[in-house]
Amino acid sequence: MSPIAPPRGTKDLLPDEAPAWRWLHETHASVAGRHGYELIDTPMFEATDLFARGVGSGTDVVEKEMYTFADRGGRSLTLRPEGTAPVLRAVLGARLEQRWRPVRVHYAMAMFRYDRPQAGRQRQFTQVGIECIGDRDPSYDAEVIEVAWRFMAQLRIDGISLQLNTLGDRDDRLRYREALSAYYTPLRDSLCDDCRRRLEVNPLRLLECTRDAQHVAGAPLLRDHLSGESRGYFADVVTHLDEAGIPYTHNQRLVRGLDYYAHTAFEFWHTSLAGAQNALGGGGRYDGLAEEIGFPATAGVGYALGVERLLIVAANQGVAPVAQPPAQLVVCTATAAGAKEARKIARHLRDRTTVIADLSARRLDKKLRDADRLGARLALLVGLDEGLVLRNLRTRAQQVVTADTVLDAVSAELLQAAQEGVP
């Protein structure tokens, strides 16, 4: 029988990578928290309608990437492919926007999309993100971008490029869509298959095609179809970003793959990721989403960043923390007689530091070797003729101690190690 393999496109978090994983999540919670964002979490699956209506039926996510299934009660459910619609549902469902506005929440959640896996692209992946819900002011768009920016700066990741665009409001996009159709329809026969489909389903996506680049170059620009109000909104966002000292590239071809975005849309790109997977994350404003999922119209803006991709970049740049030793001290029995005493002392020492007890029948040299291998600083040998022996695994110096003095001796050794600045 062959061993059971993990499902395609999934990945285990092993102890070696856990410190970097934890570091990233704690940093995100800390940076978001410092801006007043509170933790939220939502179910891993939702009613399929939440995404079909919220994200948009013409999008790739809904059209071909969702894990949708019927439960035993015949309900159509879908594993969460993105976080914004569920978080908005949770916030508005609980009427949180009636406490104070805007509601600021941050999250770290697993997402599921059925796609062909590649490096940096999995079927289950994790996003950290924030949502700022309940007020429509350009300063919040800038605030959200700034939190993402500060977060990645705190991770000491550099080389990030902020791609910024405005999609205007609904009327702007309707006008623009007509202009795009008018431009592309005569060209229909010379378009690639995908673009012919886009022309029917989602004309904005025509702008992102790389095969029909010559057509894109001559296509009308959304900028020329924006209302004065939309232009002013974008100008305000840009002003706030300038004040915050956050550089950006105005990318007029950035349209985002989810239907709910309006006005501000942005992505964070990084060149050290492979060309195909260069986006660390993105976000934008989604003022129409609340109504799409059956709630009173409520403004919102947020971002989501891919944890696995951030960790790839962090590892490439050598900024992710490495694994710490699981214990500072290993209590080793030198003879079988010491087992009971060793357990008792280990219990005692855990008041002071991290302790592993090795009571196995293996030879003492193997125990010491393993204690050193796992990175412990000290070993306490129990069951020797001369009594308890505390050995420093780095200096190889050792001293005889008693049950009464062992705690102080351990403290002294650890203090000295700390003063020497060794990790």
Q: Which one, 16 or 365, has the nearer CB to RNA?
A: 365
Comparing CB distances to RNA, the nearer of 250 and 373 is 373
How many whole angstroms separate alpha carbon 127 and alpha carbon 305? 5
As measured in angstroms, the least distance from the Cβ of 33 to RNA is: 21
CB of 283 to RNA, least distance (A): 8
Shortest Cβ 23–RNA spacing (Å): 18
Report in angstroms the alpha-carbon separations of 194 from 60, 79, 190, 197, 212.
12, 27, 12, 5, 10
In the complex, the smallest distance separating the C-beta of residue 95 from RNA, rounded to whole angstroms, is 27
**Measured distance between the N- and C-terminal CA atoms of the chain, rounded to whole angstroms:** 45
Q: Which is nearer to RNA, 194 or 236 (CB)?
A: 194
Residues 6+ away with beta carbon under 8 Å from 196: 188
Q: Given the complex with RNA, which of 110 and 179 has the nearer CB atom?
A: 110
Nearer to RNA, 103 or 265 (CB): 265
Q: How far is the CB of 174 from RNA (least distance, A)?
A: 20
Please report how close the Cβ of residue 286 comes to RNA at its closest, in angstroms: 12
Q: Which is nearer to RNA, 351 or 385 (CB)?
A: 385
Least CB distance to RNA at residue 147 (A)? 15
Least Å from the CB of residue 256 to RNA: 6
Tell me whether residue 75 or residue 362 sits nearer to RNA (CB atom). 362
The least CB distance from residue 22 to RNA, in Å, is: 19
Closest to RNA by CB, 42 or 122: 122
Rank residues 139 and 161 by Cβ distance to RNA and give the closer one.
Answer: 161
